[in-house]
Amino acid sequence: MDTESLRKYSALHPKPAGLTLQYGTAGFRTKAEQLDHVMFRMGLLAVLRSKATASTIGIMVTASHNPEEDNGVKLVDPLGEMLHPSWEEYATQLANAEEQELHKAITEICQKGAVNQHNNASVLLGRDTRPSSEKLSQSVIDGISVLGGQYHDYGLVTTPQLHYMVCCQNTQGQYGKATLEGYYEKLSKAFMELLKQCPTSGESQRHLKVDCANGIGALKLSEMEPYLPKEVKIHLYNDGTQEKLNHLCGADFVKVHQKPPRGLDMNPNERCCSFDGDADRIVYYYKDATGHFHLIDGDKIATLISIFLKELLAKVGQTLKMAVIQTAYANGSSTRYLEETLKVPVHCVKTGVKHLHHKAQEFDVGVYFEANGHGTVLFSKAAEAKIRQLAKEEKDEEKRKAAKVLENMIDLINQTVGDAISDMLVIEGVLALKGLTVQQWDAIYTDLPNRLLKVEVADRRVIDTTDAERRAVTPPGLQEKIDALVKKYKLSRAFVRPSGTEDVVRIYAEADTQESADALATEVSLAVYNLAHGKGAPPQP
C-alpha cells in the first residue's frame, strides 16, 4: 500500500470535523454534501473486501426512496447479496476514522478481515439518477484506484441490476451475462416463455401504468421495452423529466400515504404499480368503481406468488420444501391465509432484508417480501437443478409443462435481491396465467386495519426486543402493558421496536376496525412515551 498516495488522495476527500455515520441495512445515507469522504473510503473498502473474498465486489451509489438532496452508498457481496455484517462494522470504522488514522484503520481491517494483499481486486460500480451521484461515483473510483483495484463503471443502473451484474461476474456467467443487454434478454425471454402458456394467448393487450418515482426505474424500463412482447403495454409516469425524485410519488409514498402518486391518473379498475427511487421495491394499486383506493402491498404480492408456486410444485409432484418469510409488520390476515388456507409454513424474522434473505435460504423455495414491497424468491441449488432436469427429461407431459413454467419463473426472478422490474414481470405473468384481474387478486383476503406510529425518545436503546421483534424485553413492564391493551380489542396485536437509524420507537397495531387499530396504536404509544422516556408532548389520539 502506497502510504504517500493514500495521504495525498485522502486529502482531496477530507472528512468533515465531528461527523460520524453508521453503516446500516441500507449502507450509508445522509445529505449528499456530507458524503464525499465516505465514497472515497468505500472505494478503499471494496478493494479490501475483493482481496479478502478473491471475488468481484459491487458498489452502488444511491439513497433509494430518500429525498433527492440525499445520497448514499452500499456494497454488494460476491453472490449479489448484501455486505457481510462483520464488514458493516469495518465500513463504519473506516468512514469515521480521522485523516491521520486512515492508514492504521486499513491495516487493522486487513488483519481482522483476513485480506490477502497479493490478490487482485475488482469492483463493479453503479449509480442512480440523483444530481450528486456522478461526482460521488468519481470519489469511489479514486478510492478503488489508489489501492490498485480494477473497476468497471456501469454508470446509471437500478440497484438490483448492479446486484445481478456482481452475481453474473462471480459465477463466471452461469447466472447470466454481466451486461444490461444480458439482463434484459434473460428476463424478457423467460417472461415471453411464461406468456406462451397463457390459456388465452390471443387476448388483447395487457395494460399497466407504472409510476417510476422520477428515478432510474424509468430509464431502465424504457430501455427494456423493445425486448418485451407486444401483448404487454407498459405506460410510464413520473419518468424524471419534469419532477424531483421521490417527490409525492414512488412505492414508499404510496405505501405510507395509502394514496396514488402525483402525476398518474387512474381510471376505475386499472392496474397500476409504483417503483421506489432505485427500483428495488414495488407496490400495486387500483381504484374501484366507487373511486376507493386499494393498495396491494408486499404481503399480497408474496401471497400471489406463493399460490402460483405451490400449484406448480404440486403438479411436478416433487417433495420440495416451500416457505414464506415475513416480518412482524406483515398483516395478520396474510399470515392467517398462508398458514390456514394455503397450508404454507410462515416464518417471522427481524425487520431488515438481510434477515429475510438469510432465512429464505434454508428452504428449497423461499418466498420473502417486506410489506413495503421489497422482496424476491430464492430457489436452492438442488431444487433448481431438479426443476431444470424435469423440464428437459420428464415423460409425463403435465409434469414437464409445470416444470417448464417453474424454470421460466427461476429465470425471471432476480434471486440476488428485491427487483421492481423483475417482480413486476413475475406478477404480470402470474396474473395472466391464472386469468386474474387486479380486483380478484386483491380479494384473496382482506387486510386487517392497522396503524403505524412513532414516538421520539431520549435513547432508542432503552427498548430491547425478542421473538423476531414481536415482544419487548425492556423497559420493565412495557410488554405487560401492551398485552393488557391488546386484550381490549378484537383480532388485535401490537408491537414496538426501536428504529435502526434514529432515536424513535416505531409502533404497529392492528385490530378488527380502523377505530380500534388507531386507539390501540395511540394507547401503546402512550405506554412507550411513559416507560421509555418519551420526548416532546405526549401522543394524542
The catalytic residue positions are 64
Bridge partners (DSSP) listed for residue 449:
none
C-beta of residue 122 within 8 angstroms of C-beta of residue 47 = no
- Residue 506 annotated as lining a ligand binding site: yes
Please tell me whether 513 is known to bind a ligand. Answer: no
Residues with Cβ within 8 Å of 83's Cβ and at least 6 positions away in sequence, in order, are: 23, 27, 49, 74, 75, 76, 77, 91
Is the distance from CB of 368 to CB of 325 less than 8 angstroms?
Answer: yes
Crossing angle for the helix pair 36-53 and 102-112, nearest 10 degrees? 30
Give burial (CB, 10 Å; 0-12/13-18/19+) of 382.
exposed
Q: Determine whether the annotation assigns residue 437 to a binding site.
A: no
| Set of cell numbers at residue 47 | 478493494
* Residues 6+ away with beta carbon under 8 Å from 296: 283, 284, 285, 286, 438, 441, 442
Helix, strand counts (H, E) of the chain: 18, 19
The annotation status of 371 as a binding-site residue, yes or no, is yes
Q: Is 30 annotated as a binding residue?
A: no
Strand 450-456 vs strand 464-466: parallel, antiparallel, or unpaired?
unpaired
What is the CA angle 205-209-212, rounded to 5?
A: 140
Confirm or deny that 202 is annotated as ligand binding: no
Residue 372 annotated in ligand binding: yes
- Contact yes or no for 317/407 (Cβ under 8 A): no
**Cα–Cα nearest to 83, from 164, 124, 25:** 25
- Say how far apart CA 176 and CA 169 lie, in whole Å: 8
Which cell is 505 given? 420507537
Binding residues for Mg(2+): 64, 276, 278, 280
Q: Which residues are part of a known binding site for substrate?
A: 370-372, 497-501, 506
Residue set of the binding site: 64, 276, 278, 280, 370-372, 497-501, 506
